[in-house]
């Protein structure tokens, strides 16, 4: 079921009562819930800000782009979070190890990254398998993941519960510069991030799943621009 990612919907993050299950973004530049969410009930839950801005990267690791993203993050002393696709982790385990060694947070992004049907519309057994196998693929490569980002941001009460049973929080985003879109330029990515980011933002970008040269090129200006706003860059933690 290795379908590649569709254009994801922007998503505001939500927070649940203890034990917390969702990381929360500020909602900047985002709709209230993912367009393909199923029965989320998100409007009944309350957001809470992070102690800074979190850069997150999906769909890797990629042997072409992940090392380049890590190089920029190291040069600019910037923590970040990588949501790793399980079968890519099995293909390129040294890249996952490199993320962990660099002090980045490594999260579960499912095993096969299914897009059709949307993740939340899969059967319960398929959802359970995707989350569990994605987590298991990271075993021995990085600290046990505590975060799960569903493909395309597609989630439901069942997805939330399935992740929670495995000790994972569903983690969405609040700023999406659509760096995955064909023809997008590094300048556009920078402008979209800096135009939307604010305290508590979670920014989604990509180090895999396609040509990510524009994302790599945009990163130095994104980091500098966020810091120029007086905002601290943080990795997502449990």
Asked about 206 being catalytic, the answer comes back as: yes
Inter-CA distances, 186 with 4, 8, 211, Å? 22, 19, 12
Q: Of these residues, 59, 88, 206, 207, which one is catalytic?
A: 206
Per the CB < 8 A criterion, the answer to whether 205 and 179 are in contact is yes
Q: Pick the catalytic residue: 26, 58, 176, 179?
A: 58
Closest CA to 134 of 123, 150, 152: 150
Q: Is 58 one of the catalytic residues?
A: yes
Q: Are 232 and 53 in contact (CB under 8 A)?
A: yes
The Cα 50–Cα 75 span in angstroms is: 24
Strand pairing report for 53-60 and 22-23: unpaired
Q: Which residues are catalytically annotated?
A: 58, 206
């Amino acid at each position: 079921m290795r379908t590649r990612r569709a254009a994801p919907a922007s998503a505001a993050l939500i927070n649940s009562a203890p034990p917390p299950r969702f990381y929360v973004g500020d909602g900047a530049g985002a709709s209230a819930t993912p367009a393909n969410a199923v029965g989320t009930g998100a409007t009944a839950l309350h957001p809470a800000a992070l102690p800074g801005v979190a850069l997150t990267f999906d769909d890797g690791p990629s042997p072409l782009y992940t090392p380049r993203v890590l190089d920029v993050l190291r040069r600019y002393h910037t923590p970040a979070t990588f949501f790793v696709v399980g079968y890519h982790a099995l293909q390129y385990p040294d890249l996952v190890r490199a993320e962990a060694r660099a002090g980045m947070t490594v999260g579960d992004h499912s095993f096969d990254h299914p897009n059709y049907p949307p993740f939340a519309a899969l059967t319960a057994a398929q959802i359970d398998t995707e989350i569990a196998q994605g987590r298991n693929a990271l075993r021995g490569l990085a600290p046990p993941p505590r975060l799960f980002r569903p493909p395309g941001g597609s989630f439901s009460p069942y997805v939330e519960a399935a992740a929670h049973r495995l000790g994972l929080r569903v983690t969405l985003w609040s700023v999406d510069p659509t760096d995955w879109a064909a023809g997008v330029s590094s300048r556009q990515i920078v402008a979209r991030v800096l135009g939307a980011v604010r305290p508590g933002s979670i920014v989604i970008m990509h180090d895999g799943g396609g040509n990510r040269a524009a994302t790599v090129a945009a990163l130095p200006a994104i980091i500098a621009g966020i810091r120029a706003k007086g905002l601290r860059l943080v990795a997502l933690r449990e």
